[in-house]
Amino acid sequence: MDILYQDEALLVVNKPAGLSTLPDGYNPTLPHIKSMLEQQAGRLWVVHRLDKDTSGVLLLARTAEAHRSLNTQFEKHLVSKLYHALVIGDPEWQQKTIYLPLRPNGDRHHRTVVDQVKGKPAVTHLRLLERLGKYCLVEAVPETGRTHQIRAHLAAMGLSIVGDKLYADRQSGSPLKMESQPQGDIDFAPKLIEGMGLHALSLEISHPLSGQRLKFDAPYPIGWVDFLRQLGP
């Protein structure tokens, strides 16, 4: 696991896919990021989470004071987050902003669902970066921080993240309304992509001690690099 930045207040890593941020609720004996890093860095406070199968920038605080400051920044939407997603589908748009309210665990399959009545406001800005045959590379900037927000919003647009079987499984009664359906022979988990095709590319915060604006960037996993090279021109 690559360390992107560390000082007396912060520890920032490039989280690999396949590791949970915190203990698994069903099997707490499984390794997780917090316990692994605490063996070397001492006590850590989790500021935000990435899904187990999502890779990229993960920020942890090294003091309770830093944790409080960073929590406030997240709550007040003073943090800038940028993700890249490898998805199956061919959207007609080049840029699109999704305004769909979301309700976490809104079905019997632990999915976040679009719910116009009980859902909380959620906004995601999307930009198509590259078309790659039946796949495409999409930039996603979440303005809010709802559980599974990017995954649920992309699914609502008829786009399946590579390897994300939870939201791609349309045979299990997902209440998400699809605008369109990906066509063709879909492979949900290309062998080169570990976890799923969602990567937290960058995170920008104000340092809890100095107030300086800092941006952290996480390179693509090797599997992504190889996958894009094979699909590229």
Query: Which residues are designated catalytic?
Result: 51
Three-class secondary structure of residue 153 per DSSP: helix
Rounded CA separation 36/136 (Å): 34
- Token pair, residue 152, equals 């649920």
- Name the one residue in this structure whose structure tokens are 């004071």: 65
- C-beta contacts of 226-229 below 8 A and 24+ residues apart: 226/192, 227/86, 227/190, 227/192, 227/193, 228/132, 228/137
CA angle 208, 212, 217 (to 5 degrees): 90
How far apart CA 1 and CA 25 sit, in angstroms, is 23
C-alpha separations of 131 from 74, 87, 99, 179, 203 in Å: 32, 10, 24, 19, 25
| Cα–Cα distance, 207 to 28 (Å, whole number) | 32
d(CA 122, CA 131): 26
> Rounded CA gap, 144 and 13, in Å?
22
